[in-house]
Structure 1
Amino acid sequence: MKKLGRLLTAMVTPFDEEGKVDYEQTKRLALALLNSGSDGVVLVATTGESPTLLREEEVNIVAGVMSAVGDRGSVIAYTGSNSTAEVLEATKKAERIGVDACLLVVPYYNKPTQDGLYQHFKIVAESTSLPCILYNVPSRTVVNLSADTVIKLSQID
């Protein structure tokens, strides 16, 4: 497994004047961040406009940045959702593109129990060879991933 590095920057997603994703500027920004000392970039998470992007746009952003970055740094793709099936699909696409890890948000809206959270993340972790980074943001998801659940999840190979 590749070391992800110590400084991973959550990258914004640039848009053009018409409100469309500016894919070329996205690549330039990723390279600029790596050239400025970041060890890697985190793409299409909340800082990168995940709530407003189509999955196709997310895939295109990740693929474009991967092609531009090469081995210059780590690329982490946000593949989270409150739908386990959608997370599985997005994570498989990210893995095929060649990202170094995936970022998974705590499922939101339906307020799962700790066991529900465990099952969600376990299913995803067992479906991929990618390292999974847990994204716990209770102020947005209204659910807090407990330390006990994280410890239990850390036992998954």
Structure 2
Amino acid sequence: MTRRLRLSREEYTVGWVCALPLELAAAKGILDEEHDSHMDDSMIYTLGRVGEHNVVIVCLPGGDTGTNAASVVAAQIIHSFPSMRFGLMIGIGGGVPIACKDIRLGNVVVSLPENDHSGVVQYDIGKATPNGFKRTAYLNAPPKFCEAL
């Protein structure tokens, strides 16, 4: 991997959030080029390039997990890098083993808002019923920069 001098914040268009340090280490291994960091907020960013895309990679703060921590980190990336076009959460997460849509580790899942669903489904909040698992909560829709894609 080559190392390059600093780029401006406006030159980064892809944000990548990792939940665990192990995922961050793997993400760094994918970079074709690592850029020098020059941030002044409280986040520790890994900056680099994958192909033609300048990427910002960040790990959730130690001890923080879940959707709230991930949404705070994603919001900070959007605030700090004004040209963000894509947001990714890539990791070793769980699965959604349903007969008609068996989603497992390694699958790529792309959401689309539809009817009363935001396009982002939270499967860890719900209850078991005689007819199966019933979701009791839904997450907000993806950020505006994702809707234009």
- TM interval, short-chain normalised: 0.3 to 0.5
Greater relative contact order (Cα < 8 A, sep 6+): 2
Q: TM-score, normalised by structure 2?
A: 0.32
Q: TM-score, normalised by structure 1?
A: 0.31
Instruction: Tell me which protein shows more strand as a share of its residues.
Output: 2
Instruction: Tell me which protein shows more helix as a share of its residues.
Output: 1
